[in-house]
Amino acid sequence: MLDLVRGLVMEVNATDGLRLGVLGPISAVRGTVALDLGPPQQRAMLALLLVRAGGAVSIEEFTEALWGADPPSSATNVVHRYIGALRRLLEPDLPPRASGRWLVRDGAAYRLKVDAEVSDLPRFRDLVRRARKAVEVGDTAAATADYAEALALWRGPCGAGVAVSAGRRYFAAIDRERSAVALGAADAALAARRPQEVLAGVRGAAAVDPLHERLQARLVTLLCAVGQQAEALRVYEDTRVRLKEALGSAPGPDLRDAYLRVLRQDQHPAREVREATAGPDEWYAPSRPAQLPADPPGFAGRESELAGLRRALDSAQPGTAALVAIDGMPGAGKTALAVHWAHLVADRFPDGQLYVDLRGFGPGDQVSPGAALFGFLRAMGVPTGQIPASVDARAGLYRSLLARRRVLAVLDNARDAQQVWDLLPGGPGCLAIVTSRRSLDDLVAANGAYLRTLDALSIEDARRALAGLVGAARVSACPMAVELILSHSAGLPLALAATAARLLADPRDSLAGVAAELRAKASILDVLRGGLCKSFNWSYYQLDAATARLFRLLPLHPEPEVTAPDAARLTGTSTREAGLRLGELARQHLVAETRPGSYRISELVREYAAELDRREIPRSAGLAGRIGVPTA
């Protein structure tokens, strides 16, 4: 009993009863006492930290939000002063100049370490995730309750009343998230025939997003379902007038359909409700999915890879589905190649194209096979109420449907082969394309997949790709700068895309400016830190502690290639253990096996590993969890 009491005391002390809110006017309460959040700029900084929900906010982002494009010379000092004030506000007993446990520094940025117990935004997202999982297993009643609780957390527009010169987009993005959740809540409630539970939440979201036609249509439908036909007609008419005055357009099909249902006094109009009660003879009308992302801009080269993929498709055994697997190091352009080729051959699959990002490497939870199958079945027209609860049953239904169709499925960013086995079509005339940064040898052995491992682009293909992204004129105008950028990019499409994103985001920037920074800083990781380091992080944090340590030590080896005895000397372990660690790095495509027992690390990856070692980043599940990285 004493241990239980101590645990409860520690839990209370962990948060000090602190509650922070950004889903509406910014608020902070300790116990029952509302805290004075200080001057407007300090309040705005707290709001920015909260909408990042534990993510980092850089000094530059604070400065842009508070002063726009013309900050004063004292901007950085003002930001630091407000950071100190916020720390004292959140932790009144904090000693001077102490960083505390809530508002911590992260390089040249700050993060507010909040979770669902402290802040309303993480709590909202937790409830939404739970609701969506309930929908996936067919429990729309439980989903409705979770959706209702999530929407009830909102007290107005995100960050209402916060004074920012720029940066309003951060809050607008959370408002759009609310609108999307309100759509899902309405659908779940109508399917469960419990529309009253989410009506207030959907009404609040619709009030903040008055031109969101689908959301207004859901509100009309909910009002009709609870018997408020007059109110439903008023919402329709108000929306119709707004659309005409603001956009010069008439109501679209969703809103018109909702209006007609009100006129028919259809008390249970949701399609999902009718489908759930339909008999076997009226089960559903198949639909043709078209889920491929846009063909990536600036795609260049890969002629050999494309030819190999075409041969694999043309030579597929009669009566079987074709399967190709694309793996390679982070940033090598696996997704770009898969999507580009899918567009090239899409006309050979007249019954549609399916796509899912399985999030095997990246922020957030992986997409489970069951969730991916749920999305595929819905895309093919299967009603929510007719989707089985178990993964095996969903996989069986999925393959049964594809047995009569010619469909292309792109299974992107898989953690490993096990994640995709239930998603592979079995019917003749179908094609599955799987991408992963981890080796997909298992698909070759078990499923006869055609495997293509991507290397870096050649210099010429990299130049063509950069020209496709930023324009041929800019590339031809700065040949020396381009050569330097290409050299530092190591032929990685991700590095080229990050360069292009920087130039397109700021028209004042130039290729010559990027090259000048490379000359000064010597590393493209410093110049283009965001996307490159994050992409490598997702692979690094999949490693166990011993393999991660070897990876950090590899830059100390003076030769371009390393063997197991070399790695053993670096780590002080046996040659056998070092060989196993090198093999795991090769499976993660952080090193490449050039010949049996000999491995090469690219210059860009070497720079990344050296930076990890300099910073002495510990490999632990605790750290990975804190920065939102999945652990092995």
Per-residue confidence at 285, pLDDT binned at 50, 70, 90?
A: low
Rounded-to-integer distance, Cα 341 and Cα 597, Å: 33
Q: What is the pLDDT of residue 198?
A: 95
For the cut 90, the answer to whether the pLDDT of residue 300 exceeds it is no
**Would you list the DSSP string of 559-599?**
SSEEEHHHHHHHHTS-HHHHHHHHHHHHHTTSSEEEETTEE
Give the domain extent around 244.
Answer: 120-159+166-280
Rounded-to-integer distance, Cα 500 and Cα 511, Å: 9
Rounded-to-integer distance, Cα 162 and Cα 461, Å: 47
The residue among 472, 507, 531 that closes a domain is 531
User: How much is the average pLDDT of 230-236?
Assistant: 92
User: How much is the average pLDDT of 15-29?
Assistant: 86
Q: Is residue 289 part of a domain?
A: no
The residue among 235, 265, 280 that closes a domain is 280
Per-residue confidence at 49, pLDDT binned at 50, 70, 90?
A: very high
For the cut 80, the answer to whether the pLDDT of residue 626 exceeds it is no
- The torsion of the CA quartet 541, 546, 552, 554, rounded to 10 degrees, works out to -130
Q: Is residue 291 part of a domain?
A: no
Q: Is residue 295 part of a domain?
A: no
For the cut 70, the answer to whether the pLDDT of residue 630 exceeds it is no
Same domain? For 463 and 423 the reply is no
* CATH assignment at residue 590: 1.10.10.10
Per-residue confidence at 272, pLDDT binned at 50, 70, 90?
A: very low
Cα 400 to the center of its chain, rounded Å: 31
What letter represents residue 508's amino acid? R
Q: Is residue 233 part of a domain?
A: yes
Q: Is residue 297 part of a domain?
A: no
Q: Which of 93-97, 146-150, 187-191, 627-631 has the highest mean pLDDT?
A: 146-150
Sheet of 56-58: strands edge to edge? 56-58, 109-112, 103-106
Q: What is the pLDDT of residue 60?
A: 84
Q: Is residue 292 part of a domain?
A: no
Same domain? For 356 and 259 the reply is no
Q: What is the pLDDT of residue 185?
A: 93
Per-residue confidence at 525, pLDDT binned at 50, 70, 90?
A: low
Helix runs in 248-363, H state only: 253-263, 271-276, 303-314, 334-345
Sheet of 592-595: strands edge to edge? 561-563, 598-600, 592-595
Per-residue confidence at 574, pLDDT binned at 50, 70, 90?
A: very high
For the cut 50, the answer to whether the pLDDT of residue 498 exceeds it is yes
Q: Is residue 3 part of a domain?
A: no
Same domain? For 486 and 408 the reply is no
Rounded-to-integer distance, Cα 211 and Cα 219, Å: 13
Rounded-to-integer distance, Cα 535 and Cα 530, Å: 9
* CATH assignment at residue 271: 1.25.40.10
Same domain? For 585 and 477 the reply is no
- pLDDT tens for each residue of 166-210: 567 778 888 989 999 999 999 999 988 899 999 999 999 999 999
Same domain? For 132 and 94 the reply is no
Same domain? For 40 and 90 the reply is yes
For the cut 70, the answer to whether the pLDDT of residue 494 exceeds it is yes
Same domain? For 404 and 483 the reply is no
User: How much is the average pLDDT of 604-621?
Assistant: 65
Q: Is residue 287 part of a domain?
A: no
- pLDDT tens for each residue of 315-365: 877 777 899 999 988 888 899 999 999 999 999 999 999 999 998 887 667
User: Which one, of 423, 351, 412, 419, lies nearest residue 381 by Cα?
Assistant: 351
Same domain? For 338 and 434 the reply is yes
The residue among 501, 531, 561 that closes a domain is 531
Let me know how long the chain is. 632
Among 152-156, 216-220, 284-288, 476-480, the least confident range = 284-288
User: How much is the average pLDDT of 433-437?
Assistant: 94
User: How much is the average pLDDT of 430-435?
Assistant: 95
Per-residue confidence at 151, pLDDT binned at 50, 70, 90?
A: very high
Same domain? For 437 and 526 the reply is no
- Does 50 or 522 have the greater pLDDT score? 50
- Does 631 or 429 have the greater pLDDT score? 429
For the cut 60, the answer to whether the pLDDT of residue 11 exceeds it is no
Same domain? For 505 and 576 the reply is no
Q: What is the pLDDT of residue 283?
A: 42
Same domain? For 199 and 348 the reply is no
Q: What is the pLDDT of residue 464?
A: 86
Q: What is the pLDDT of residue 532?
A: 67
Total domain count, the chain: 5
SS3 content of the chain, % helix, strand, coil (to 5): 55, 10, 35
Query: What is the percent of the chain with per-residue pLDDT over 90, rounded to a whole number?
Result: 32
Same domain? For 507 and 481 the reply is yes
For the cut 60, the answer to whether the pLDDT of residue 52 exceeds it is yes
For the cut 50, the answer to whether the pLDDT of residue 381 exceeds it is yes
User: How much is the average pLDDT of 44-73?
Assistant: 86
pTM: 0.52
* CATH assignment at residue 375: 3.40.50.300
